[in-house]
Amino acid sequence: MVPRILQELESESIEILRETAATFRNPVMMYSIGKDSSVLLHLAKKAFYPSPIPFPLLHIDTTWKFKEMISFRDRVVAECGAKLLVHTNQAGVDAGVNPFTTGVSEYTRVMKTVALREALDKYEFDAAIGGSRRDEEKSRAKERIFSVREPGYKWDPRNQRPELWQTYNTKLSAGQTMRVFPISDWTEADIWNYILQERIDVNPLYFAKDRPVVHRGNQLIMVDDDRFPLQNGEQPEIARIRFRTLGCYPLTAAVESTATTIEEVVEEVLQVKLSERATRLIDGAGEDSMEKKKSEGYF
């Protein structure tokens, strides 16, 4: 049954990607280096084959990504031949905004949300394709596939366009932009099953390896470079860990694991009964943090 579910999901996603390429003046695909982005990129290759992917990729670099993320990004993008745009909120960097002392909400707003808005303004993109899934979080469950952003990239969840059948309204009025979510209906298990089936290249951080970590509360945080401020008497120890989701390294917790192949990761994912976002520090802050962030322009 799994291959058939995947085929139906794949077809639906490809249809959405083609619709986006055909109807927008200047679309862009968000590339965040994670597994969902890897799947999205793979789907985009398939949707337009044998033509190249007809839109550029955009990575919002907070400068706090894992080192292995950046090297993976550059390798994968070079292989697929798509154009990669990288944008960082330089004002934020100059002001010393960081995930340790700035406060998570403010850090996210400046280095992710504001950075994204800057990039969309700079390149005048009218549609941004993202890899969000409805199973990730409650407010995402109510997202449209083609989701309008009002001027200033604001999301008004109470004023969304009705979306019926698979008949998509991709029209924009002045000042509006679109967010497009081709893998809305996929679950985390689907993503991994698809990666396994299609043998998609995913980041090495998803596989278990001995890495330096510190314990913070219930969470395991990897010490990726010497910018990580250790607490008094804290000493990184080596543990066999992997990541369920990838983000900024001080804000993304690892899980102890021995899964070193895609097969083993899939097996583990299907057994673990915790939500993915349990390992994301940034979402724990308040129950509705996602809806609030999204209203401000976050993906």
**Binding string to other proteins for residues 43 to 62, with x set by CB under 8 A, is what?**
--xxxxxxx-----------
What is the smallest separation between the CB atom of 211 and other proteins, expressed in angstroms?
A: 24
Please tell me whether residue 151 binds other proteins under the rule CB under 8 A.
no
Q: Which one of the spans 165-173, 200-208, 209-217, 235-243 is the region binding other proteins (CB under 8 A)?
A: 165-173
Q: Which of 281, 209, 298, 296 is nearest to 64 (CA)?
A: 281
Q: How many helical (H) and strand (E) elements, i.e. helices and strands, does the chain have?
A: 9, 10
DSSP characters over 66-110: -HHHHHHHHHHHHHHT--EEEE--HHHHHTT--TTTS-HHHHHII
Question: Are residues 247 and 282 in contact, defined by beta-carbon separation less than 8 angstroms?
Answer: yes
Residue matched to tokens 């990039």: 119
CA distance 97 to 192: 34
Q: How far is the CB of 189 from other proteins (least distance, A)?
A: 8
Task: Compare residues 209 and 292 and give the one whose CB is closer to other proteins.
Answer: 292
CA dist 194 and 196 (Å) reads 5
Helices assigned H by DSSP within 110-253: 115-123, 188-198
The nearer residue to other proteins, 66 or 155, going by C-beta atoms, is: 155
Say whether residue 267 binds other proteins (CB under 8 A).
no
4 burial class (0-12, 13-18, 19+ CB within 10 angstroms)? Answer: exposed
The residue among 98 and 132 lying less far from other proteins, judged by its C-beta, is 132
Q: How many residues belong to the site for other proteins (CB under 8 A)? A: 55
Q: Six-digit token pair at 281?
A: 């520090």
Residue 25 binds other proteins (CB under 8 A): no
* Residues between 178 and 217 that touch other proteins (CB under 8 A): 184-185, 187
Q: Which of 2, 78, 230, 238 binds other proteins (CB under 8 A)?
A: 2
Q: Which of 122, 138, 154, 216: binder of other proteins (CB under 8 A)?
A: 138
Contact by Cβ (8 Å): 111, 97: yes
CB of 160 to other proteins, least distance (A): 7
Site residues (CB under 8 A) for other proteins? 1-2, 4-5, 7-12, 14-15, 18-19, 21-22, 45-51, 134-135, 138-139, 141-142, 157-158, 160-169, 171-173, 176, 184-185, 187, 273-275, 278, 287-288, 291
